[in-house]
Amino acid sequence: MIDILLVRENPDLVRASQRARGADESLVDQVLAADEKRRASITEFESLRAQQKSVSKSVGAAMGKLAGARKSGSGDVETLQQEADEARTRAAELAAKVKQREAAADQEDKEFAALIRELDNIVIDGVPAGGEDDFVTLETVGEPREFDFEPLDHLTLGERLGAIDMERGAKVSGSRFYFLKGAGARLSNALMAYAQSIAVEEGFTPLVVPTLVSPATMGGTGYLDAHEDVYHLESADLYLTGTSEVALAGYHTDEIIDLSAGPLRYTATSTCYRREAGSYGKDTRGIFRVHQFTKTEMFIYCTPEEAVAEHQNLLRIERRLLDGLELPYRVIDVAAGDLGGSAARKFDCEAWVPTQGKYRELTSTSNCTTYQARRLNIRQRGDDGKTSFVATLNGTMLTDTRPIVALLENHQQADGSVRVPRALQPFLGTDVIRPA
């Protein structure tokens, strides 16, 4: 959610942001109209309520006097009784009116709230305009490898190594499920251990988090807007999270956090669940696009002023991890139309996948500025004692499945074995993976 004050004071900025995303510009004027309507309604209702309260209070006073008069036998009990009754009648009339105006004000406030939630986050200056294909490549690291033999794809390699078993995954759970076995399972664990060790080195606090969350948490992080990708457990009314970002963002919901000692940096490894609905026919081979994988995620709470620097920090850490895996990759500045509603800027790291002849997304980091915090009501207290919304950022350290794809394909050798990059060796306990 963006700040209504910003919409009021600088509507052109909001319009420009919507335009860059290819989103609806007229929403800005709808929001402004709804805001005005709602404020007029609130003012009317509140002044009426103030009247009602003061009349109602006089009923109490009258009753008090009446009781006193009755007890002592002094004073005109009848007159006092009449006064009390009259006040009560007037209060009852006002109460009915107040009820009406309150309902109207509530309705208009709801309409306003629904509209402003539709506005996407303000895109940061410099983000390329346009859609999915309009990204800007910031840097390319390493070179796609020249093979002096015909490279195999990750599934063929994985099966030969006894590392990936799609058939049994499908048998047990259906399509896009899999088993990792032997070296495959060990690679998954090693990648997470590698990520966790770097996370701690970089000053992140590790958490073990819930992967089933309430509708409120899911909605607050904005993931319910992308409904088709989310698993919902009807019997318990809980959602399976597609990333631990959900729990990490929900962690400080409704809190006023202390950022005086610097940003709060958290990391969590969790199983991630994605329906991948609507991706039929896409990436159907192997474990590139699956319903379940494991991911170590970073999450940062900081002041809005620190957000851009923290975003660069997350990108640096992601690159550090990929460098360690010795993969060729590029960094892209994702275009406005491909950001998702919460992000103001997003950098993806895409690794080279030899048998696809393409760079594919391995990690991604988003700067959500105050958009997510506003929805989740996460604030900090400034030096002036006033509260303000914090900025949130998230980034992938590593997942297991896609890096395994990239590692197997890029580091395969003519004899069917796979070289293990040095950084991973301590966690895997070997420098080469051979057929089991």
Catalytically active residues, by annotation: 274, 289, 361, 364, 402
Tell me if 186 is assigned to a ligand binding site.
Answer: no
Rounded CA-CA distance 156/161 in Å is 9
Of 13, 23, 42, 193, which one interacts with RNA (CB under 7 A)?
42
Report the nearest approach of RNA to the CB of residue 186 (Å).
24
Residues 267 and 297 sit within 8 Å (Cβ to Cβ): yes
The DSSP secondary-structure symbol of 149 reads S
Rounded CA-CA distance 311/435 in Å is 41
| Per-residue three-class SS string for 324-346 | HCCCCEEEEECCHHHCCCCCCEE
Any contact of residue 63 with RNA (CB under 7 A)? yes
Any contact of residue 159 with RNA (CB under 7 A)? no
The distance of Cα 217 from the centroid of its chain, to the nearest Å, equals: 10
Q: Which of 126, 197, 122 is nearest to 347 (CA)?
A: 126
Nearer to RNA by C-beta: 332 or 378? 378
Tell me if 13 is assigned to a ligand binding site.
Answer: no
Nearer to RNA by C-beta: 47 or 205? 47
Residues 409 and 378 sit within 8 Å (Cβ to Cβ): no
Q: Region of 340 please: left (phi>0), alpha (psi -120 to 50) or beta.
A: left
Amino acid at 15: R
Token representation of residue 418? 């796979």
Residues 16 and 59 sit within 8 Å (Cβ to Cβ): no
Residues 390 and 303 sit within 8 Å (Cβ to Cβ): yes
Distances (CA, A) of 435 to 157, 407, 415: 9, 15, 10
Of 88, 97, 101, 117, which one interacts with RNA (CB under 7 A)?
88
Any contact of residue 422 with RNA (CB under 7 A)? no
The DSSP secondary-structure symbol of 223 reads G
Tell me if 49 is assigned to a ligand binding site.
Answer: no
Report the nearest approach of RNA to the CB of residue 180 (Å).
24
Nearer to RNA by C-beta: 64 or 206? 64
Of 53, 110, 168, 358, which one interacts with RNA (CB under 7 A)?
53
Any contact of residue 100 with RNA (CB under 7 A)? no
Of 10, 24, 33, 64, which one interacts with RNA (CB under 7 A)?
64
Rounded CA-CA distance 91/51 in Å is 9
Residues 162-191 that bind RNA (CB under 7 A): none
Rounded CA-CA distance 107/137 in Å is 46
Nearer to RNA by C-beta: 94 or 331? 94
Nearer to RNA by C-beta: 8 or 422? 8
Tell me if 43 is assigned to a ligand binding site.
Answer: no
Q: Which stretch binds RNA (CB under 7 A): 88-96, 201-209, 270-278, 285-293?
A: 88-96
Of 50, 172, 226, 432, which one interacts with RNA (CB under 7 A)?
50
Amino acid at 362: L
Report the nearest approach of RNA to the CB of residue 56 (Å).
4
Report the nearest approach of RNA to the CB of residue 206 (Å).
20
- Any bridge partners for residue 272, and if so which? 293
Q: Which stretch binds RNA (CB under 7 A): 26-34, 43-51, 124-132, 308-316?
A: 43-51
**What residues line the site for RNA (CB under 7 A)?**
4, 39, 42-43, 46-47, 49-50, 52-57, 59-60, 63-64, 88, 91-92, 94-95, 256, 379, 381, 387
**Annotated binding site for L-serine: which residue ranges?**
243-245, 274, 297, 394, 396
